[in-house]
Structure 1
Amino acid sequence: MPLLEHLAELRRRLLWSAAGLLIAFLACYHFSFQIYSFIAHPLVAVMKSRGEEPTLIYTQLYEAFFTYIKVSLYAAVFVAFPLISTQVWLFIAPGLYRSEKKALLPFIVATPVLFLAGAALAYYVIFPTAFRFFLSFQTPTAHPAADGMQIELMARVSDYLGLVMKLVFAFGVAFELPVALTLMGKVGILRSKTLKKFRRYAYVGCFVIAAVLTPPDVLTQTGLAVPLIILYEISILCVRLVEPKLDEE
């Protein structure tokens, strides 16, 4: 295909992706409050379990509006991802051999599945535990050492959304570790023996990555580091299955 036809095809795929994203954004904005309520549910559930009134505030006139815009955009990317990934595949697939398509297809399918698994772990396991830990630092006026002073959480809607999306993205991307390592093993860049040799350094790296991507508390960092270590061990097995066999082996 000539260069101009490649560019025309790229333009067509980008237009389809942009149109799908715009339609998804408009639909998600209509349900932005319900989507935000779903995102805030872990915090709300923990506050209700403590007998507290679940309240989120905003301190600037435009803060709630732009928070709903961000919520709609995040949700639209999630909803439109199948269409966007399909358009990307339709653009690159004609340039691949049949064997290359067969080799890449499992990785393409596994990528969103593992991302959702990481996001689900963060939402259903990490968030309730972390929020319960953070809320434990509130001090009611009835506390013996409070002396009439009360320390109470007043979470902002934008700050909460930023924290939640950062953790969801961190866990989702971290769960792509088997895909990345297995793909490198498939093309011969990595060997399972190499991964075993540097296992101890990888464990340390998992905790470092968790410390960088998550808030500075031990619970959340451990909640990401331990799954990363497990995924690293799974990656060793996957690389062993797909790596090219050397003559001397």
Structure 2
Amino acid sequence: MSGDAQETFVSHLVELRDRLLRAIVAVLVVFVCLMPWAGDIYDLLALPMMDTLPEGTHMIATGVVTPFFVPVKVTLMVSFVLALPVVLYQAWAFIAPGLYAHERRLAIPLVLGTSLLFLLGMAFCYFFVFGTVFKFIAEFAPKSIVPAPDIEQYLSFVMTLFIAFGLTFEVPVIVVVLAKAGIVSVEKLKEARPYVIVGAFVIAAIVTPPDVVSQIMLAVPMCLLYELGLVIARMVTKPATPAGGTELDRIEAHGPGER
């Protein structure tokens, strides 16, 4: 490796470190501000479960330090979600210098869209999925059983569903980016629709609890969001060049243009 290449590599590592530190600091600042209300934040997270439990029943903590660490984990999760625009911006700012000018103009819409869709996925999970799934489980359970969920297992459960639905709502962004970058044409994405539907139900079966309700509530929005991504992709992508190539082909043929 030459001296200039090594110096460039080191400078990239330094910039990556600085971007990571800024993202971590943003999360920690929000976390410190929210810590006084850690217990209230967990109570809010547990509300969908508490609404389905018999009157007078409470969740339990089987570990000695669990009542402290679980609310702290929840608060850290909320802090990351609130600081997500900053985290995504730092990631984008790191890769932006290597992109074309027209690609860099997508920075703000991409960061805002990604953050908003992830939050919408979590909100859909909290307000619609949790209540439906917990009610289904409570009605299915034998009457001789009094449910008393452990708070740590409950946190693991809701975290899994939050991440699953948050990522599911990113499907339109992924579709639009693939089409806008010329990696895959809209026509090819339309042809892949049957495979996407099958894949959506397979993913839902893997990441959700073993009940049909939660699997359908994940797979169906994933399919609908894929269709939404196709609609948006048709609107934002330019028509093919006269030679039939994509925008990426034109750039490769005539040069990158403005950097």
Equivalenced residues, count: 237
Task: Give the conservation status (yes or no) of the 8 Å contact 2:81–2:119.
Answer: no
Which deviates more, 116-125 or 64-73? 64-73
Shift of 1:244: 4.5
The 8 Å contact of residues 191 and 239 in structure 1, kept in 2 or not, is answered as no
Other-structure match for 1:188: 182
Alignment partner, residue 131 of structure 1: 134
Which residue in 2 is equivalent to 1:46?
52
What amino acid does structure 2 have at the position aligned with 1:45? D
Unaligned stretches of 5+ in structure 1?
141-149
For the pair 1:151 / 2:154, whether they are aligned, the reply is no
Distance 1:46 1:91, change over 3 A: same
Q: Which moved more, 1:4-13 or 1:204-213?
A: 4-13
- Partners of 2:189 and 2:116 lie apart in 1 by 24
Match of 1:29 in 2: 35
Gaps of 5+ in 2: 245-259
Distance 1:189 1:167, change over 3 A: same
Q: CA RMSD in A?
A: 2.2
Q: Distance in 2 between matches of 1:203 and 1:183?
A: 20
3-state SS of paired residue (1:35): helix
| Match status 1:14 vs 2:20 | yes
Percent of residue pairs identical: 38
Aligned-pair distance for 1:176? 0.7
Q: Within 5 Å, which residues of 2 pair with 1:189-228?
A: 189-228=183-222
* Normalised TM-score (structure 2): 0.82
Q: Secondary structure at the match of 2:55?
A: coil
Partner of residue 155 from structure 2, selected from 161, 167, 189: 161
Q: How many angstroms does 1:75 deviate by?
A: 1.6
Deviation at 1:94, TM superposition (A): 4.4
TM-score (norm 1): 0.85
Name the SS of the counterpart of 1:136 in structure 2: helix
C-alpha distance in 1 between matches for 2:238 and 2:196: 23
Cα distance in 1 for residues equivalent to 2:205 and 2:43: 28
Q: 2:102 aligns with which of 96, 99, 103?
A: 99
In structure 1, C-alpha distance between the alignment counterparts of 2:193 and 2:90, rounded to whole Å: 38
Distance, in Å, in 2 between the alignment partners of 1:66 and 1:233 is 41
Deviation at residue 97 of structure 1 after TM alignment: 4.0
Structure 1 counterpart of 2:56, one-letter code: E
